[in-house]
Structure 1
């Protein structure tokens, strides 16, 4: 018998596989899907990066303003003689503020430091810089900070300037001033903002101690820097200030009140508070710088 021959397998016409056109169309579709997915991923990555950048900028601004706030609140009203007048070591202008403060406890050497915070604008943008240098009691000059290297505290998004709240004359109502001249007392508050209108970023710092420590003694009214204004109040709650006698006397103004005895400090208008804290004036002596040395 003859063995049957295996039937040949035959594929129907058109079932051999993909044609070249179908393969090209599939590749184009897959490419479009991949491009769309990459664009979506790129958008997500950029959104995350933008959020991180803004978060870092906000953290830097908050930290820098907190550093400035902490140093200004503790500014020391150290007295020295200029043209035979007792004035406090403080210089305030629109673009910079200089003051004296107690040295950090972990630093050995002179007990006081001179500080300068300046708003600098150049081709790199706006920034707040800090200079700090030891203050020699024999030569109490805040210009010593010019010999120190500046440190960038915070980079700003716009140009800011300093203003100072207080009274420049004995019987005038306290108000904001672009400069604070050499006075027997510190300003009541320091503001760092873009303009007079409230905006962002903005910082208002009430100074905790505005008169020398020895103003709490019995001879305070006759001591330089202690008599800030008449003791009677003016109209509208913007009246005078009176230096305390160490037994709970208060210093009042339109911006807030200060107890130079044992009370706290509150700055605000219509019951609002910009800061808190208490300052007690000792009954002993206070650092006072003369023209020939510290006393």
Structure 2
């Protein structure tokens, strides 16, 4: 009877091994909390890693866009218009649109000169359009983009601001201007500023580009090669 009573006794001496029901429940609760905290930590680490990857991707996209613009604008050619008695360079720029003539993209290889037009689209894309210099059925100086090939650089652009450094007229001091239109020279510097949409953390550092002056002076396009005659 004494042995039978000990089997059903709820009393447990301090030295006995094992867990009571309350101790087991507390242990399970602590393990559950630890598992939740671990999962939250892993999720947070995943979010941080994803944000870092997105940040690196955004930075690379901006760097690539600036590299393309710098390489293209640096090599612009002072092509002179054929319908003017005085030398007028085919470069027309406003605060929101820049149109100029330059060699094609490096990926396209050596070829006839191309016309380029940098602008922001209504959907917020920063686009560098291109068209063959001998293409006649395009708007060469306005905003009509029919016949031009779009080369998208960035999205989510709220504002594009282009400025030009140089004298507003011969003999004047150099100043920044928001318009460079039908002049006999190219600007000394072109500054491109981009502002992204609200709540967009991307930052566009001001891009300053100095067009390279050709050693041959004004450029006239050869009808056969489509290049500057001085560069044949």
TM-score by length of 1: 0.60
Name which of 120, 139, 142 aligns with 2:140: 142
Please tell me whether the aligned partners of residues 61 and 156 of structure 1 are also in contact (alpha carbons under 8 angstroms).
no
What is the number of residues matched between the two proteins?
A: 210
Match of 1:116 in 2: 117
Partner of 2:220: 287
**Most deviating of 86-95 and 141-150:** 141-150
CA deviation map 1:9-66 (0-9, x unaligned): x667436954443332222111111111112112222111111111111111011100
Q: CA deviation at 1:136?
A: 1.1
Partner of 1:60: 61
**Contact in 2 for aligned 1:160/1:192 (Cα 8 Å):** yes
What RMSD, in angstroms, separates the aligned Cα atoms of the two structures?
3.6
* TM alignment of 1:52-201, pairs within 5 A: 52-82=53-83, 84-103=85-104, 107=108, 111-120=112-121, 122=123, 126-136=124-134, 142-143=140-141, 146-155=146-155, 159-193=159-193, 200-201=204-205
Partner SS, residue 136 of structure 1: coil
Answer 1 or 2: which has greater helix percent.
2
* Structure 1 counterpart SS, 2:212: coil
**Could you tell me how far apart the structure 2 residues matched to 1:139 and 1:82 are?**
17
1:191-270 equivalences in 2 (<5 Å): 191-193=191-193, 200-209=204-213, 213=216, 215=217
**For 1:56 and 1:194, how far apart are their aligned partners in 2?**
18
Task: Give the secondary-structure state (helix, strand or coil) at the position aligned to 1:184.
Answer: coil
**Structure 1 39/117 Cα, relative in aligned 2: closer, same or farther at 3 Å?**
same
Give the Cα separation in 1 of the matches to 2:62 and 2:113.
27
Q: Which runs of 5+ in 1 are unaligned?
A: 1-6, 216-224, 226-285
The answer (yes or no) to whether the contact 1:113–1:133 under 8 Å persists in 2 is yes
- Does the CA-based 8 Å contact 1:69-1:205 persist in structure 2? yes
C-alpha contact (below 8 Å) 2:115/2:131 kept by paired residues: yes
C-alpha contact 1:61 1:155 (8 A) present in aligned 2: no
Is the CA contact (8 Å cut-off) linking 2:62 and 2:204 kept in structure 1? no
Deviation at 1:141, TM superposition (A): 5.9
Closer/same/farther in 2, CA of residues 115 and 212 from structure 1, 3 Å limit: farther
